[in-house]
Amino acid sequence: MKGFKQAFYLVLTLMMLSGCQQIVEVDLPPHEPQLVVNALMTAGKQARVVVSKSRGVTGRDTSFSWISDAEVQINVGGSPWEALAYIDSFETDSDGQTLFFPGYYSKKEVPFGDEIEINVTADLGEARSRMTIPPQLSATVDTFQLDVLRDASNLFQSLIRIKLENPPELSYYELIATLWYRIDGVDSLLKESMSFSSQLGFTPFDGNTSILLTNELLNGEVASVSLICFTPFRATTTVIRPQPDRLVLEIRTCSPEYYNYLTSYQEHIGSQVAGFSLFTTEPLPMYNNIEGGLGILAGYSTRFDTLMLQ
Amino acid sequence: MRRKWSCRQMVEGLFVCMWLLVGVQAFGQDLLRKEITLQAEKASLGEILEQVSQKSGLLISYSPADLPQESVSFPASTASIATHLDRILSPYRLSYKVIGKQVAIYKLPRLYTLSGYVIDGESGERLISAQVYDEHSKRGVFTNGFGFFSLDLPGDSISLVVAYTTYKSKQLKFFHKNNRQLSVELEPDFELDAVEIKAIEAEGPHKQVQMSLVSAPVSQLQALPVVLGEADVLKALGTFPGIQSAGEGSANLLVRGGSPDQNLILLDDAPIYFVSHLGGLFSVFNGSAVSDIQLVKGGFPAKYGGRLSSVIDVRTREGNMREITGEADISLIAARASIEGPIKKDRSSFFLSFRRSYFDIFSNTLTRLASDGNSAFGYHFYDLNAKVNFLLNENNRLHISMYLGDDRTNIGVDETFANQGELLTYQLGTKINWGNQLFSVRWNHLYSPKVFANLRLTLSNYRFEIKSDYFSRITEMEDTVSFKGVESYDSGISDLALQYDVNWYKNGRHTINLGINLTVHNFRPGLSSFNLTFQDSTERDTVFGASQLPGADLFLYYENEWKVSDRLTLRLGAHASSYTVQDTAFGSIQPRLSARYTIGKNWALKASFVRMMQFIHLLSSTDAGLPTDLWVPSTTRVPPQRSWQVAAGVAGRIKGGFEVSLEGYYKRMRGLIAYEEGANLLGDTQAWEDRVVTGGEGWAYGVEFLVQKKSGKTTGWLGYTLAWNQRKFSNLNEGKLFPFRYDRRHDLNLVVSHRFSEKIHLAANWTYGSGHALSLATGTYNSAFSEDGVVFPTGTFIRSDPLQNISLYEGGRNGFRMRAVHRLDASLSFDKKKKWGERSWILQVYNLYNRANPFFYFFDPDFDNPLADGTVPLTLKQFSLFPILPSVSYHVKF
C-alpha cells in the first residue's frame, strides 16, 4: 500500500505540473511585397487612388506600407484623362482625433458611362485595371414610412417600398439608410445607421448597415421591395427619447466590380472574425481586378432620397 | 529524355505490377491453355483421356481402377485442355494436377461437412473470426460474425487446429466420415509462456482473402495508454497504418484519405452516427462492453455499403453463459460497472454495463462557489449497454441488444445587481444534450450445416438539441422593462433497418454470401425556433430551418468466395443499391473484387478493387466531430458521393509469430461536399443545400506497412503510412487542387505491451505524424476600406487588423504545414489476485516527454510592445492541448 501512496503522490505532483498551458512561437516564411492599388470612385466626385504594398503578417517591420512615389494615370474612354498627384493630407474629426487620408487625387470629377482605365507604375512593378461606372438608378421610392414601436428602448422600425425601373442588363445596387433624430436638450441632429432585415435574398453588408442586390432578384419585373429597418437595440432604460427627424436612403448603382468586391470582402472578413484563430481559417478568395497586383478599381453612381418625419 | 516519375505514378505502377504478378501466377498453367477439339461416341473415360493425350501431346497418367466403367458420348467441341478435363472428370469425383509436363488424374475423397461454433470455454460466448483449419487437407475457414463455421473436409483423418488470438489453440484429431456438428471451446490464454501450438500455421493475414483489415484483441486495444486513463478501443484503431485521428483529443477517424463521415460505424449491426464524448476526448464505446472490433479500409465485402472509406464493426459482449461475473473501475473522468451471467445456464445470458462521468459533481459545486451561487455549469456523459441472448435450440439463436448514450451540459445563471440607479435581473438556463439510442434484434437460423442465416432489425437514433430560456428585467424608478426568450435548436437522424443475410458454404470451393436490406431514414437537419416576449407581449415566434426529411434505401448483395486453386482464391461480388429521398431516386451497382494468391506456407499476395457510393453527407466545418455536425441526404442538388479504390499488397507471417503486411492503395473520390466558405453552423436561416459546395473530387493514395504480434509476453505493432491526400472543388481555391486538411505524409506508430509477470504489465505507444495542412495567411494588404487606418481610442493601430485588412494566402488553401506531432504514452498496471477476484491499479502518463503538439495556430497581438510607429506586431503561435498528463485508475473483476 505504501507503494501506491507514493505513486498517488507522484501522479498528483505530475498533474499539478501539467496544468501549464503550452504556447509555442512558430516561424513563418518571409513575404515578398506586392503592389496594391485601391480605388473606389464615386461618379461626380474626385477620384482617389491609394497605392500601397502588401507585407508579412508577422515581424517587426515598421516601414510604411503606403507608396507615395508611384505614377498614377487615368484614361477615360481610351483617351488620357488625368495623371493623379499624391497628397499626404491629414484631417481631424469632430472629436479632435487624427485621421489620415493619403492618396492620389484627381482634379476632375469622375464621369459615368465611359470606361475608366487606371495605370500605376511603382518600384514594385506595374499594375492596371479598368471598369465603367453605371448611371444613376431610375427608381422611385414608393412608400416611405416610419413606425416608432418602442421608444423606451430606442427601437425603430420602418417599411420601405422601392420600385426599380429594371434595366434589361444585370445591374447591381447598394442601399444604405440613415435615421436622423433629435434628443431633448441636444441641439444638433444625430445620425444612426439603420440595419436592414428582409426575407428576400439580399446580401447584407457590414453588419447589415447596407444591403447589396441585383435586379435579377426582381426577376426582370418592376417590383416592390419591402424592407424593415431597426436601429441597434439598446438594453438600457436610461431615459433617452429620440425624436426621429428624417430618414435618408442612399441608393448606389454599382459597377459589377464594386458588387463583387463588397460581397467577397464581406465573406473574407467574416471568416477571419468567425475563425478559431485569426488568419488560420479556410481562405475565402478576395475579389481582385488589378492586373499585376492586388486590390480593386470600382465605382458607383449615387442618389439620396430623404423622407422628413414628424 | 529522362522521365521524372511522380509519387502518384509510382504508386500506380506498383498496383499494375502487383496485378500482373497475380495474373501471371494465377494462369501459370500454360500447358492446359491449348485448345483442342474432342468428340466421343460411346467411349470409355480411358479412351477419351487417350484422345486428349494424343491431341495435346501431354502425358496423362491415371489409375484405371479410379475410372468408371460406363461409356460416354458427346459431340465435337473445341475448348482448352483444362476446360475439357474439368467437364470430363468432375461428374466422377475425379480431378487432375499438372506435375512437370504430365497431367496426373486422381480420385477425390468424398467430402463431409464439419460445422459448428467456436466458443469461449469460460463464458460460453462465441468467438468472431476464429480460424478453423485442417492440417491434412490444408482447408480452413474463419468463423463468421456469430462464431459459426462450416467446412467441407474429405472423408479422411482430420487434424483440426482451432485458433484465436489470446486463446489457447486447440488441436483435434479424428476420422471424418459423416457430416457433423462440432462446438469447439477455447480457453483464454493467461499463461505468460504459452506455447503457440500449431497456431503459427493456422493464423495470419495471408490466410484470408480479406485485405486492408485492421484487427487486434480488444484486451490489447484497451491496454493502450490514453488521456486521463479512460480506455478507448476506437481511438486505439488510430494507431494502425492508414488510419489517423482528426486531431489530438478527437475520436473521429480518417481512413485512407477519407473524411469522418465516410466511416460506417456499426454497433451490433446498428449504424451509430456520433461516436464522441466530451468533444471527442472519448468515444462512446465502453471498453468493458466490447468483445470484438474490426476495421476494413479497402476490399470491402459486398454486404457493406453506404460509405466510401471504411467499415468499423463493433460487437458487444453476449454475456457469460455459465456463471455470474462482473467488473468495475474508476478513472479520473468516469466510473463504470458491468455484470453478466446466465439467465439459464448454457441456454441464455445477459450483459449489462454502465459508464458515467462525474465531472459535473465538481464543476457544479465549484462554479456555484466561485459565483456566490449565481451560476452553475455541469457536464456529464453516460453509456448504457445491455444485451440478452437466447439459444432457442441448436438451429436458432436470438440476440437483443441496446445502447443508450448521452452527453448533457447545463448552464445556469441567476443574477441581480444594481448599476447607476438601475436594478438588473438576469436569468439564464441552457441545456445542450446530444446522444445516440440504438436497438437491435438479431435472429440466427441454421437452415443446414451449410446455410447460416441472420435476420436483423435495427433502430438507430442520434439527436442534438439546445434549449435556452432567458429572462432579463431592468427597473429604474417607476419604469420596468422585461424581456424573455426561449430558443431551441434540434437536429438529428434516425434509421430503421431490416436486413437478411445468408452465408452458404456451398462446397470446399465456393462460399456464397447474399442478402437484402431496407433502411428508412429520417433526417432532421436543423430546426431552430425563437420565442421572444417583450413586456409580456410576444414579439417574435419563429421556426425556421428544415424539419423532417424522410428517405429510404434498399440494397442487395451477392458475393462468391471462390477457391480457384490451392493457391488462388477470388472473391467476386456486387452491391446494388437504390436510394430515394423526396421525389429523387439514385441507384448504383458496385463491384467488389478481391484476390489472394498464396506463396509458400506463410505469404500471400492480395489485391482488390471496389466501388462505393454514399447517399448521405455530413455537414461539418471542422471534421473534429462536433455534435453540431449535420447529417443530410443526397438530393438533386447535392448528389451522392462515390469512389473507387484499388489496393494491392503482400501479407504473411514471419518467425516469432509476427504478422506482416505491406499494402498500396489508390482511391478516387467524386461528389464530395463541403460547407460553403463562411457558412454558419447554427441559427442560419439559409437552407442547408444553399450552404454547401458540391462536386468535389478527391485523390488519396499511399503505402502502408504493418508488423504486428498478437500473442505472447510481448505484443504490439509497428505501423507506418506514406500517404497523399488531395481535393479539388470548382468553386474553392480558384478551382485548383489543394491538400486535404488532414493530408499527412508520414505516420508512424509503435505500440508495445509487455507482461513482466502475472502482476506487472507495461504498455507504451510512441506516435509520430508529419504536420497537417492548414490555410494560413502569410501576408496582408490594405482593403479599400482600411486605407484610412484604424485608430483605436488608445491611439494604437493594429497592423493587419482582421476587421479591415485582407489576408493573403500565398500558398492557397491548406498551403501551410503545421509542425509534426509526436509523443510517448505509457501505462503500468499492477494486478493482484484476491479471494473474490482480481484488482488492478493502472498508472498512465500521456505525453511522457511533454511534447508541445499543435492543436491550433493563432496570431497573437503584442499590445505591450508596440512598434515605433505605434503598430502592434503579431506573432504566430501554436496552442497545444495536452501537456504531460498523468492519471490513475482502479479496476476490479469478480
Instruction: Please tell me the distance from the alpha carbon of residue B504 to that of residue B514, in angstroms, as a whole number.
Output: 8
Q: Which residues contact B302 (CB under 8 A, 6 or more apart)?
A: B513, B557, B558, B559, B573, B574, B575, B592
Q: Of B575 and A164, which is predicted with more confidence? A: B575
How confident is the model over B24-45, as a mean pLDDT?
A: 73
How confident is the model over B247-265, as a mean pLDDT?
A: 87
**Measured between CB atoms, does A267 come within 8 Å of chain B?**
yes
Q: How many CB atoms lie within 10 A of CB B60?
A: 18
Instruction: Please tell me the distance from the alpha carbon of residue A43 to that of residue A112, in angstroms, as a whole number.
Output: 6
| Strand ranges (E), chain A | 22-25, 35-42, 46-53, 55-56, 71-76, 79-92, 98-109, 115-122, 125-132, 139-150, 155-164, 172-182, 190-193, 195-197, 203-205, 210-214, 224-230, 243-254, 294-308
Tell me the H-state helices in chain A: 2-17, 256-274
Cβ-defined contact of B782 to A286 (cutoff 8 Å): no
**Measured between CB atoms, does A1 come within 8 Å of chain B?**
no
Compute chain B's Rg from CA coordinates: 32
Sheet-wide strand order for B102-107: B59-61, B102-107, B94-99
- Per residue in B692-724, pLDDT (tens digit) is 889 999 999 999 999 999 888 899 999 999 999
Of A40, A237, A283, the CB nearest to B809: A283
pLDDT at B64: 84
pLDDT interval class at B796 (50, 70, 90): very low
* pLDDT at residue B320 is higher than 60: yes
Cβ-defined contact of B678 to A278 (cutoff 8 Å): no
How confident is the model over B500-507, as a mean pLDDT?
A: 93
Cβ-defined contact of B807 to A23 (cutoff 8 Å): no
Residues of chain B found within 8 Å of residue A281, distances taken between Cβ atoms = 775
Backbone angles phi, psi at A143, to 5 degrees: -125, 140
**Measured between CB atoms, does B536 come within 8 Å of chain A?**
no
Local structure of residue B224 (DSSP, 8 states) = S
pLDDT at B196: 45
Instruction: Please tell me the distance from the alpha carbon of residue A106 to that of residue B88, in angstroms, as a whole number.
Output: 99
pLDDT interval class at B570 (50, 70, 90): very high
Q: For chain B, give me the number of helices (H) and strands (E)?
A: 7, 55
* pLDDT at residue B25 is higher than 80: no
pLDDT at B803: 45
The Cα of B432 is separated from the nearest Cα of chain A by a number of Å equal to 21
* pLDDT at residue A307 is higher than 50: yes
Instruction: Please tell me the distance from the alpha carbon of residue B387 to that of residue B290, in angstroms, as a whole number.
Output: 12
How confident is the model over A117-140, as a mean pLDDT?
A: 89
Lowest mean pLDDT among A112-121, B248-257, B264-273: B248-257
How confident is the model over B462-472, as a mean pLDDT?
A: 87
- Per residue in B819-833, pLDDT (tens digit) is 999 999 999 999 999
pLDDT interval class at A56 (50, 70, 90): confident
Grouping H, G, I as helix, E, B as strand and the rest as coil, residue B847 is coil
Instruction: Please tell me the distance from the alpha carbon of residue B479 to that of residue B141, in angstroms, as a whole number.
Output: 83
For the ranges B213-217, B696-700, B801-805, B852-856, the one whose mean pLDDT is highest: B696-700
Beta bridge partners of A228: A159, A197
**Measured between CB atoms, does B792 come within 8 Å of chain A?**
no
Instruction: Please tell me the distance from the alpha carbon of residue B23 to that of residue B78, in angstroms, as a whole number.
Output: 24
Cβ-defined contact of B778 to A284 (cutoff 8 Å): no
User: CA-based angle B466:B469:B475, to the nearest 5?
Assistant: 155
Of B775, B778, B868, the CB nearest to A281: B775
pLDDT interval class at B110 (50, 70, 90): confident
pLDDT interval class at B795 (50, 70, 90): very low
A218-222 long-range Cβ contacts below 8 angstroms, 24+ apart: A218/A164, A218/A166, A220/A166, A221/A166, A222/A163, A222/A164, A222/A165, A222/A166
CB B85 within 8 Å of CB B52: yes
**Measured between CB atoms, does B841 come within 8 Å of chain A?**
yes
pLDDT interval class at A118 (50, 70, 90): very high
pLDDT at B458: 97
ipTM of the shown complex: 0.84
pLDDT interval class at A152 (50, 70, 90): very low
Which of A22, A97, A271 best tests the B interface by mutation, with the highest count of B CBs <10 A? A22
How confident is the model over B811-815, as a mean pLDDT?
A: 84
**Measured between CB atoms, does A51 come within 8 Å of chain B?**
no
Selection from A29, A222, A263 nearest residue A139 by Cα: A222
How confident is the model over B131-142, as a mean pLDDT?
A: 86
Cβ-defined contact of B678 to A56 (cutoff 8 Å): no
How confident is the model over B342-359, as a mean pLDDT?
A: 92
The Cα of A56 is separated from the nearest Cα of chain B by a number of Å equal to 4
pLDDT interval class at B542 (50, 70, 90): low
Residues of chain A found within 8 Å of residue B789, distances taken between Cβ atoms = 99-100
Q: How many CB atoms lie within 10 A of CB B646?
A: 22
Question: Would you state the cell numbers that stand for residue B292, as one nine-digit string?
Answer: 470484438
- Per residue in A178-197, pLDDT (tens digit) is 878 777 666 677 777 777 76
How confident is the model over B188-202, as a mean pLDDT?
A: 52
Of A28, A100, A272, the CB nearest to B802: A272
pLDDT at B674: 80
* pLDDT at residue B464 is higher than 60: yes
**Measured between CB atoms, does A94 come within 8 Å of chain B?**
no
Instruction: Please tell me the distance from the alpha carbon of residue B361 to that of residue B383, in angstroms, as a whole number.
Output: 17
- Per residue in A9-39, pLDDT (tens digit) is 554 454 444 444 567 788 888 888 999 999 9
Instruction: Please tell me the distance from the alpha carbon of residue B752 to that of residue B710, in angstroms, as a whole number.
Output: 11
Share of chain B above pLDDT 70, in %: 88
pLDDT interval class at B855 (50, 70, 90): confident
pLDDT interval class at B800 (50, 70, 90): very low
pLDDT interval class at B778 (50, 70, 90): confident
pLDDT at B630: 79
Cβ-defined contact of A265 to B867 (cutoff 8 Å): no
How confident is the model over B318-347, as a mean pLDDT?
A: 92
Backbone angles phi, psi at B91, to 5 degrees: -65, -15
CB B190 within 8 Å of CB B792: no
- Per residue in B389-399, pLDDT (tens digit) is 999 998 999 99
How confident is the model over B762-787, as a mean pLDDT?
A: 85
pLDDT at B26: 43
* pLDDT at residue B2 is higher than 60: no
DSSP string, B532-576: EEETTEEEEEEEEE---EEEEEEEEEEEEEEE-SSSEEEEEEEEE
Q: How many CB atoms lie within 10 A of CB B182?
A: 16
**Measured between CB atoms, does A294 come within 8 Å of chain B?**
yes
Residues of chain B found within 8 Å of residue A27, distances taken between Cβ atoms = 876
- Per residue in B615-650, pLDDT (tens digit) is 998 877 555 556 667 788 888 888 999 999 999 999
Grouping H, G, I as helix, E, B as strand and the rest as coil, residue B505 is coil
| Parallel/antiparallel/unpaired status of strands A35-42 and A294-308 | parallel
**Measured between CB atoms, does B887 come within 8 Å of chain A?**
yes
* pLDDT at residue B802 is higher than 90: no
* pLDDT at residue A225 is higher than 90: no
CB B379 within 8 Å of CB B409: yes
CB B827 within 8 Å of CB B762: yes
Cβ-defined contact of A14 to B856 (cutoff 8 Å): no
Cβ-defined contact of A50 to B678 (cutoff 8 Å): no
pLDDT at B794: 28
CB A3 within 8 Å of CB A262: no
Residue B659 is inside which H or E element, if any? strand B658-675
Selection from B701, B644, B641, B700 nearest residue B672 by Cα: B641
Cβ-defined contact of A22 to B883 (cutoff 8 Å): yes
Instruction: Please tell me the distance from the alpha carbon of residue B53 to that of residue B57, in angstroms, as a whole number.
Output: 5
Amino acid at B436: N
Instruction: Please tell me the distance from the alpha carbon of residue A187 to that of residue A190, in angstroms, as a whole number.
Output: 9
* pLDDT at residue A240 is higher than 60: no
| Average pLDDT of chain B, as a whole number | 84
Lowest mean pLDDT among B86-100, B231-245, B837-851: B86-100
Of A11, A99, A101, the CB nearest to B886: A11
Instruction: Please tell me the distance from the alpha carbon of residue B514 to that of residue B301, in angstroms, as a whole number.
Output: 11
Q: Which residues contact A154 (CB under 8 A, 6 or more apart)?
A: A231, A233, A234, A240, A242
Instruction: Please tell me the distance from the alpha carbon of residue B264 to that of residue A205, in angstroms, as a whole number.
Output: 41
pLDDT at A4: 45
Local structure of residue B126 (DSSP, 8 states) = B
Selection from B840, B886, B848 nearest residue A10 by Cα: B886
How confident is the model over B302-315, as a mean pLDDT?
A: 95
Q: Which residues of A192-225 are buried (b: 16+ CB within 10 A; e: fewer)?
A: bbbbbebeeebbebeebbbbbbbbeebeeeeeeb
The Cα of B778 is separated from the nearest Cα of chain A by a number of Å equal to 6
Compute chain A's Rg from CA coordinates: 26
Which residues of chain B from 456 to 515 reach within 8 Å of chain A, CB to CB? 472, 474-476, 479, 481, 483
- Residue in this structure with the C-alpha cell 516519375, named with its chain if needed: B5
Instruction: Please tell me the distance from the alpha carbon of residue B392 to that of residue B441, in angstroms, as a whole number.
Output: 14
Tell me the H-state helices in B33-131: 45-56, 81-89
Of A7, A97, A236, the CB nearest to B843: A7
Instruction: Please tell me the distance from the alpha carbon of residue A199 to that of residue B686, in angstroms, as a whole number.
Output: 11
Residue A105, exposed/middle/buried by CB under 10 A (0-12, 13-18, 19+)?
A: middle
For the ranges A176-180, B156-160, B201-205, the one whose mean pLDDT is highest: B156-160
pLDDT interval class at A267 (50, 70, 90): confident
pLDDT at B866: 72
Lowest mean pLDDT among B35-49, B160-174, B705-719, B800-814: B800-814
Of A18, A24, A283, the CB nearest to B775: A283
pLDDT at B310: 96
pLDDT at B402: 96
Closest residue in A to B887 (Cα) is A11
How many interface pairs between A and B have CB atoms less than 8 angstroms apart? 215
Closest residue in A to B879 (Cα) is A23
The Cα of B129 is separated from the nearest Cα of chain A by a number of Å equal to 40
Q: Which residues contact B771 (CB under 8 A, 6 or more apart)?
A: B744, B817, B818, B819, B820, B821, B854
Which residues of chain A from 147 to 186 reach within 8 Å of chain B, CB to CB? 150, 152-153
Grouping H, G, I as helix, E, B as strand and the rest as coil, residue B359 is helix
For the ranges B130-134, B414-418, B704-708, B797-801, the one whose mean pLDDT is highest: B704-708
**Measured between CB atoms, does A242 come within 8 Å of chain B?**
no
Residues of chain B found within 8 Å of residue A273, distances taken between Cβ atoms = 802-803
Closest residue in B to A99 (Cα) is B788
Which of B806, B828, B847, B889 best tests the A interface by mutation, with the highest count of A CBs <10 A? B806
User: What's the predicted TM-score (pTM) here?
Assistant: 0.79
Residues of chain B found within 8 Å of residue A235, distances taken between Cβ atoms = 472, 474, 483
How confident is the model over B193-217, as a mean pLDDT?
A: 68
Cβ-defined contact of B678 to A267 (cutoff 8 Å): yes
The Cα of B19 is separated from the nearest Cα of chain A by a number of Å equal to 40
pLDDT at A17: 46
For the ranges A1-5, B613-617, B813-817, the one whose mean pLDDT is highest: B613-617
| Parallel/antiparallel/unpaired status of strands B111-120 and B180-186 | parallel
pLDDT at A94: 60
**Measured between CB atoms, does A304 come within 8 Å of chain B?**
no
**Measured between CB atoms, does A306 come within 8 Å of chain B?**
no
Closest residue in A to B883 (Cα) is A18
Lowest mean pLDDT among A104-108, A200-204, B211-215: A200-204
